[in-house]
Structure 1
Amino acid sequence: MTRPANRRTQTVEFVRASSRRGRSRARSWLPSLFTLANMLCGFAAILVSFRGQYSLACVLIGTSVVFDIADGAVARLVGAVSPFGLQFDSLADLVSFGLAPSLLTFALFSAGRDGFDPLGWIACFVWVACAAIRLARFNVTIDPTADKRFFVGLPSPGAAGVVMASVFAFSDVLEGRDRLWVLLVVVVPGLLMVSNIRWRSFRSLVSPKSRRPYGLVTAAVLIAVGLATVPVLTFCAVAYGYLFSPLLVPVVAPLGRLVPARVKELLS
């Protein structure tokens, strides 16, 4: 009489275990879907760049930045951080923030000319090489004891933001004309990606463990209003502000003493 009960118990446990495994697999793949969307937007940005749709390419790269932020936040939220996810994210970033910005800049720089242009080729390759080195260095130097508030080297999404802002602001004026522009917009941020300069990380602001995301919400609202009213100025202010933040923060930090403690607490 006990055998049917045991069989039923085993069947129920098997079904429950299968359900748990299914949910676990679904959770593990969820961040990868955001990473895949990141790569898709970067790939699409490359395609539209060679069709002369530079603004659309910038929007697609900007969307890649959003998905890149989201995949890490989702992975931490569902507890699905894994070595596979780390490597997949780096490969997607190489497409979206390595190849896409460099090819966008080269398409704008060459302005449809098919002849050999060594300056453009070298400048854009420097960007791709630096982005690859930056991502590889990040993967192999992960230190649990390191200060999570900072990145060593300019993050590739931040460097891509400089390219996007520059294209939005100056593409109509400088298309295929100013060779120095390519050197400044591509080579300089590219080299900063492999530098030892520290840039502030805002991962804690988008962490699921953040219980008071008032600073993030305030910044998001201000940026959204700026993009709706003065998009070019806002885009340049955010991108170049982050680029020069290692120089600006020590200068602006003393002004933080003038902010009331209550306001600091609310925005923290």
Structure 2
Amino acid sequence: MVNDASSSNPNPKPQPDNVRPLPNKRQGLRRGIYLLPNLITTGALFSGFYSIISSMTGDIEQAAIAIVIAGFLDSLDGRVARLTNTQSEFGVQYDSLSDLVAFGVAPALLMFSWVLADLGKLGWFVAFLYMACAALRLARFNTAPDSKVFFGLASPGAAGTIAALAWVWHDNVQQSAGLEFGLPFAVLAGVLAVLMVSNIRYYSPKEFDFGGRVPFLFMVTIVFLFVVVAVYPPGMLLIIGLTYAASGPIGSLLRRRRRNPDGD
């Protein structure tokens, strides 16, 4: 007679607290899903998919604009979920998968189709590095969500910078980038990838309290920014993206100098 191994062990080894037990049966979504925030997330996912298709067909400008639209929708879904009290674990995971497509795969393929393909193996390696770092950034956020600051450049910010750069190029330069620009743009993509997985602190715009009171001058500044962006959207988005990407390392250096004023 064969003894059951599980029944013969009266004191099974306890599982760690952070290990989630596997269910005996696969359970469906009994209570359904919230429609409004997940519709916005689906719009961001569609924009990312459209960007991928546009990059594959050589329409780089449309691919870049689609990533910008995905970034705008991504900034809305979480805030809408909080305002309407429709947050859910399903929405969190769905948003993360959408972000991987729109801000990981789409900008990597955009860069490869635009300038990195001329670099051969180095080009696809840089594209893969960017996509992998975006995936790692999203995984780290899911396991340890940021609050008032981001640790590492957020993937929408990095993707928006790349998209704005491609948009500005195709809006002003009617020729391919070539090898002379391929290497500098590859370096930029590599720097953005490293910033995403770094521990450098960035300010989180999602934590801005739109329901609170602000000085009147602040509101005037916001109106001015709207006007400036409307004058030439791709150029201003590129400046905003580069400024935000650089703000993390610059802020880190300034904080280090304050802690060590004598340079010790």
TM range (shorter): 0.7 to 0.9
Per the alignment, do residues 176 and 137 of structure 1 end up closer, same or farther by CA in structure 2, a change over 3 Å counting?
same
Aligned to 2:202, the other structure's residue is in SS state strand
CA distance in 2, matches of 1:192, 1:246: 9
Contact 1:162 1:185 in 2 (8 A): no
Deviation string, structure 1 residues 115-135 (Cα, Å, up to 9, x no partner): x92011100000110000000
CA distance in 1, matches of 2:217, 2:53: 36
Gaps of 5+ in 1: 1-23, 254-268
CA distance in 2, matches of 1:110, 1:247: 26
Cα shift at 1:246: 2.1
Gaps of 5+ in 2: 1-30, 256-264
CA distance in 2, matches of 1:241, 1:98: 21
User: 1:223 corresponds to which residue?
Assistant: 225
Contact 1:162 1:236 in 2 (8 A): yes
Pick one of 81, 98, 105 that aligns with 1:99. Answer: 105
Deviation string, structure 1 residues 92-125 (Cα, Å, up to 9, x no partner): 00000000101011110256x7xx9201110000
Is 1:138 paired with 2:141? yes
User: 1:125 corresponds to which residue?
Assistant: 128
Cα shift at 1:82: 1.4
User: 1:176 corresponds to which residue?
Assistant: 178
Q: Alignment length, in residue pairs?
A: 220
Residue 212 of structure 2 aligns to which amino acid in structure 1? R
Aligned to 1:125, the other structure's residue is in SS state helix
Contact 1:39 1:95 in 2 (8 A): yes
Cα shift at 1:237: 1.5
Return the structure number with greater helix share.
1
RMSD: 2.7
Residue 37 of structure 1 aligns to which amino acid in structure 2? G
Per the alignment, do residues 216 and 135 of structure 1 end up closer, same or farther by CA in structure 2, a change over 3 Å counting?
farther
CA distance in 2, matches of 1:216, 1:160: 27
Pick one of 33, 40, 50 that aligns with 2:46. Answer: 40
User: 2:238 corresponds to which residue?
Assistant: 236
TM-score, normalised by the number of residues in structure 1 = 0.73
Per the alignment, do residues 80 and 39 of structure 1 end up closer, same or farther by CA in structure 2, a change over 3 Å counting?
same
Contact 1:46 1:104 in 2 (8 A): yes
Per the alignment, do residues 46 and 251 of structure 1 end up closer, same or farther by CA in structure 2, a change over 3 Å counting?
same
Contact 2:100 2:134 in 1 (8 A): yes
Contact 2:148 2:204 in 1 (8 A): yes
Residue 163 of structure 1 aligns to which amino acid in structure 2? I
Per the alignment, do residues 182 and 233 of structure 1 end up closer, same or farther by CA in structure 2, a change over 3 Å counting?
closer
Contact 2:137 2:152 in 1 (8 A): yes
Cα shift at 1:223: 3.3
Aligned to 1:154, the other structure's residue is in SS state coil
CA distance in 1, matches of 2:128, 2:144: 24
Aligned to 2:68, the other structure's residue is in SS state helix
CA distance in 1, matches of 2:80, 2:219: 18
Contact 2:71 2:156 in 1 (8 A): yes
Cα shift at 1:221: 3.0
Deviation string, structure 1 residues 190-244 (Cα, Å, up to 9, x no partner): 1110000011001122x56x23367885555333322332334312210101011
Is 1:109 paired with 2:115? yes
CA distance in 1, matches of 2:105, 2:55: 11
Cα shift at 1:84: 1.0
CA distance in 2, matches of 1:65, 1:126: 21
5 Å-filtered alignment, 1:19-34, equals 28-34=34-40
Per the alignment, do residues 68 and 232 of structure 1 end up closer, same or farther by CA in structure 2, a change over 3 Å counting?
closer
Aligned to 1:38, the other structure's residue is in SS state helix
Residue 64 of structure 1 aligns to which amino acid in structure 2? A
Residue 63 of structure 1 aligns to which amino acid in structure 2? I
Contact 1:166 1:185 in 2 (8 A): no
CA distance in 1, matches of 2:222, 2:193: 27
